[in-house]
Amino acid sequence: MNLDKLNWLPFNRERLNKMIAENANQDNYAVLDWDYTCVFYDTQDSLFIYQTDNLLFKLTPARFSKVIRHNIPQDKPLGLQNDLGKELTAELLSKDLDYLYEFLYHRFEGLGGNLPLSEIKNMPEFNDFRVKLFLLMCGGHRVAKVDIGQLVSTGFNLDEYNAIAESSIDFALKAKLDTAFLASTDSGNAGKCSIRRQEGIRSQVEIQNLIKVFKENGIETYICTASQIDNIRVFASLPKYGYNIKPENVFGQRRVIDKNNIITVEDDFSLGYTHGPGKAETIKNCIMQKHKSKPPVLIAGDSDGDFYMMNEFKDSSLLLIFDKNQSEMTKIYQFIQKGINTREDMNTSIIVQSRDNTTGLFSKSDKTR
How many helices (H) and strands (E) the chain has is answered by: 13, 15
In angstroms, the first-to-last Cα distance of the chain is 31
> How does pLDDT run across 47-62, given as a tens digit for each residue?
999 999 999 999 999 9
Integer Cα distance of 19 and 280 in angstroms: 21
* Residues 6 or more apart in contact with residue 307 via CB below 8 angstroms: 301, 330, 331, 332, 335
What pLDDT, on the 0 to 100 scale, is given for residue 367?
75
Query: Which of the two residues, 1 and 269, has the higher pLDDT score?
Result: 269
Phi, then psi, of 314 in degrees rounded to 5: -65, -25
DSSP three-state, residue 30: strand
Residue 201 has pLDDT above 70, yes or no: yes
Which domains occur in the chain, in start order? Answer: 10-41+203-362 (3.40.50.1000), 43-199 (1.20.1440.320)
Residue 369 has pLDDT above 70, yes or no: no
> How does pLDDT run across 229-275, given as a tens digit for each residue?
999 999 999 999 999 999 999 999 999 999 999 999 999 999 899 99
Residue 259: how many CB atoms within 10 A of its CB? Answer: 5
What pLDDT, on the 0 to 100 scale, is given for residue 310?
98
Phi, then psi, of 298 in degrees rounded to 5: -145, 140
Give per-residue burial for 190-220: e unless 16+ CB within 10 Å, then b.
Answer: bbbbebebebbbbbbebbbbbbbbbeebebb
Residue 354 has pLDDT above 80, yes or no: yes
Beta-bridge partner residues of 196: 181
For residue 1, what pLDDT band results from cuts at 50, 70 and 90? confident
Tell the burial category of 265 from Cβ atoms under 10 Å away from its Cβ (0-12, 13-18, 19+): buried
Integer Cα distance of 338 and 345 in angstroms: 11
* Residues 6 or more apart in contact with residue 183 via CB below 8 angstroms: 83, 127, 131, 192, 193, 194, 195
Integer Cα distance of 130 and 82 in angstroms: 15
For residue 365, what pLDDT band results from cuts at 50, 70 and 90? confident
Among residues of the chain, what percentage have pLDDT more than 70? 100
Integer Cα distance of 269 and 27 in angstroms: 28
Integer Cα distance of 234 and 167 in angstroms: 10
> Is residue 25 a contact partner of residue 220, using CB atoms and an 8 Å limit?
no
Q: Which parts of the chain fold into alpha helices (H)? A: 10-23, 43-54, 61-67, 90-105, 117-120, 124-144, 148-151, 158-174, 205-216, 229-237, 277-282, 304-312, 333-341
Beta-bridge partner residues of 35: 39
Integer Cα distance of 364 and 366 in angstroms: 6
Average pLDDT of span 7-23: 98
pTM of the predicted model, to two decimals? Answer: 0.96
As a whole number, the mean pLDDT across the chain is: 97
Measured CA to CA in angstroms, residue 364 lies from 5, 8, 245, 300, 353 at distances of: 10, 6, 26, 18, 8
What pLDDT, on the 0 to 100 scale, is given for residue 320?
98
Measured CA to CA in angstroms, residue 305 lies from 143, 204, 315 at distances of: 16, 20, 19
Average pLDDT of span 180-207: 96
Measured CA to CA in angstroms, residue 132 lies from 138, 194, 217 at distances of: 10, 8, 48
> Is residue 31 a contact partner of residue 283, using CB atoms and an 8 Å limit?
yes
Residue 368 has pLDDT above 80, yes or no: no
Average pLDDT of span 144-158: 96
Average pLDDT of span 92-107: 98
